[in-house]
A and B are shown apart, each in its own frame.
Chain A
């Protein structure tokens, strides 16, 4: 797979809505898990599989994403040949009117120029630790045209059905039906928004869609070709979480407080690491009266107060007597002495002045925007 496959990642997903967290940044650049951005997981998966050429589609909200990715050196993607390619968005369209097919169409010259013959196309917001060797193997064994990655799910809540695409898969592993955002759940193979395809076929199918005024990747490029092409499915077994709203965002972060999830995502060996931008922050300093339980804490923090069930990002300061519970506190935020924070998400560089109280609901966390001073 190493030399024959390139990765194509969409930095946005019109079906995801993270409210204030994506006001100023791409979905792919939303901070998660204490020191990561959403895109780090899929990008590291690709790198760990040996993919050395990755293109990332962008929209006008690309600043924070490009800051994060830089030249790609933290993912070992700053290379002479191949490497990381930030694909500019097409100024001619408003990004809201662009769909997957348009993003790939915009990337045509990049795709044509690349030496690889296969493409792994993926959304950025499904978090898992997946290496793609087995996907490629299945694709070759079955002589498939397209191989889609899915996982088995149980009964999906009605309110979540509109987020799922279900696949009907026969005994041979071939996809016989696709159900997009159904109102009633009939299947339990949930598509993970990643597929593997020969580059020449992708270019042909996208060209065909564009020529017929069709723009939707799932409906127009995949579903309508089920009978015409050999579409196979690869079952992923393990932890995965799609971040598409505040609830799933919060849920993923809190999942990291479970040891089995951490062990699976970050690996216990050195060969499946999750890479991110290196900031050279110092280790975290715990004060004499700090009290910390069940929390993930990144480097560069100074913790003097009480922290419980939290995800604390790099460089956060929590003052003496402050109590922070069930919250996600992003980079360089400061919670001063004797504050109380519960069920909250603090974006980067928020300052909460002494003695302030901020309490959200477990089901509805309060979100404080970037650089807000309370």
Chain B
């Protein structure tokens, strides 16, 4: 195998349970975003643009759809002769076989994979953030500082800092302390879950960490504190672009809606940093004589006869005449029948909404069986993938409709 300077490993095994019904059958990185993407398109496209052509994707929870989606890696230009993209589920070896116990253990179990490419550095990424970032810049800073690890950080509002892993640094951005979700944060530089490690240093720490039976085998909880304790050189790398953890229904909805802002914080139309995705080979969309489309993103294969306002429609969505889609995110292939009203909702892949159905309504008498404020905060309503809702039903806001409502 040809040696590589840098290999990327994307942690894509998380269940993403706070996304409720959206991740019941797919892993979080495979959740659709922004009309024609999946969350994992962002780190994969970032890798391609950063010149990293060898990427391992570590899967564990519900990997099938993600595996199929990644395929040969061709959409991201990662179908390479040397290197490319590899899906890495846990496996059984002669001695033992086990699930990935934590983020660090997932990499530990794939030391053999990384070693095949004999890299100087590894980039560890998470598969559940929306951002555009040049990892090559970060790698350059890592090399220049002669660091053992470099952690990407972003400034977060002080009042939110206690929700993040916070890096306390000196004036040269060298990390002096790491605090996971501190009650009284000393800094507002939050870890983005993007790490560059010098591979031979990381490998040593992974092996030691594995021997420690009390360890959670986690980068944030174990590996980083241990390296700090041992006086290794850990640098923070400031990132000042758009970065969003889309781990909850509200943050996923927000991140979609932010694309529709007058001056969006993240420009997805940047021709020099395209976000690649698998193309469904659908025809252009059709907007009919009865349609009204305003302030929205619409993509291939849609047929629009109704009203679409301030919403994001994924491929192959149908909105019949008289139907209204407002402040919503409609995932691939969903069907919105005549006179239905969808308000502030996420409608799952392939869901069928019957005639005159009201989703996310405040009307009295609306069905409240599915109200789930734990998953669906901020008046957002979620309709699970493939769910069918019969004609005329009103679904109260903050619901998570997990099963079909049949006639």
Contact = CB atoms under 8 A, between A and B. Distances in A.
Interface of A: 33-35, 73, 256-257, 259, 262, 265-266, 273-276, 278, 280-300, 312
Interface in B7-66: 34-36
Nearest to B279: A278
Contact of A33 (B281, B283, B295): B283
A297 B297 contact: no
A299 B299 contact: yes
B295 A35 contact: no
B275 A280 contact: yes
A297 B268 CA distance: 19
A168 to B, nearest CB: 37
A283 B283 contact: no
A296 B300 CA distance: 10
A296 B268 contact: no
Interface in B251-304: 268-269, 274-277, 279, 281-289, 291-300, 303
B373 interface: no
Contact of B294 (A34, A259, A273, A288): A288
A73 B284 contact: no
A290 B293 CA distance: 7
Contact of A274 (B281, B285, B288): B281
B346 interface: no
Given A282-B35, A282-B36, A298 B293 contact: no
Interface string B304-325: 0000100011000000000000
Q: Residue among B289, B293, B308 with the most chain A CB within 10 A?
A: B293
Contacts of A273: 281-282
Given A73-B74, A280-B274, A283-B36, A35 B284 contact: yes
Given A292-B293, A293-B291, A284 B299 contact: yes
A297 B285 contact: yes
B295 A286 contact: yes
A355 B294 CA distance: 23
Contacts of A275: 281
A206 to B, nearest CB: 35
Contacts of B287: 292-295, 297
B289 A296 contact: no
A300 B269 contact: yes
28 contacts: A35-B300, A257-B286, A259-B303, A262-B283, A276-B281, A278-B75, A278-B279, A280-B75, A280-B274, A282-B35, A284-B297, A284-B298, A285-B269, A285-B296, A289-B294, A290-B293, A290-B294, A293-B287, A293-B291, A294-B288, A295-B286, A296-B283, A296-B284, A296-B285, A296-B286, A297-B287, A299-B36, A299-B284
A309 to B, nearest CB: 9
**9 shortest interchain CB distances as A-B pairs:** A34-B284, A283-B35, A283-B299, A298-B284, A283-B297, A266-B283, A278-B279, A273-B281, A292-B287
A174 to B, nearest CB: 38
Nearest to B267: A282
A286 B275 contact: no
A299 B269 contact: no
B283 A294 contact: no
Contacts of A256: 283
Nearest to A287: B295
A284 B284 CA distance: 10
Contacts of A297: 284-287, 298
A312 B284 CA distance: 9
A276 B75 CA distance: 14
Contacts of B281: 273-276
B22 to A, nearest CB: 19
B282 to A, nearest CB: 7
B189 to A, nearest CB: 31
Contacts of B274: 280-281
A282 B279 contact: no
Given A299-B36, A300-B269, A280 B293 contact: no
A84 to B, nearest CB: 15
Nearest to B296: A286
B379 to A, nearest CB: 22
A153 to B, nearest CB: 26
Contact of A292 (B74, B276, B291, B312): B291
A298 B282 CA distance: 10
Contacts of A287: 294-295
Contacts of B277: 280
Nearest to B276: A280
A280 B269 CA distance: 10
B297 A285 contact: yes
Given A287-B295, A296-B283, 9 more contacts: A35-B300, A262-B286, A278-B75, A280-B277, A283-B35, A292-B293, A293-B288, A293-B289, A294-B288
Contacts of B36: 282-283, 299
Contacts of B75: 278, 280
Contacts of B279: 278, 280
Contacts of A291: 292
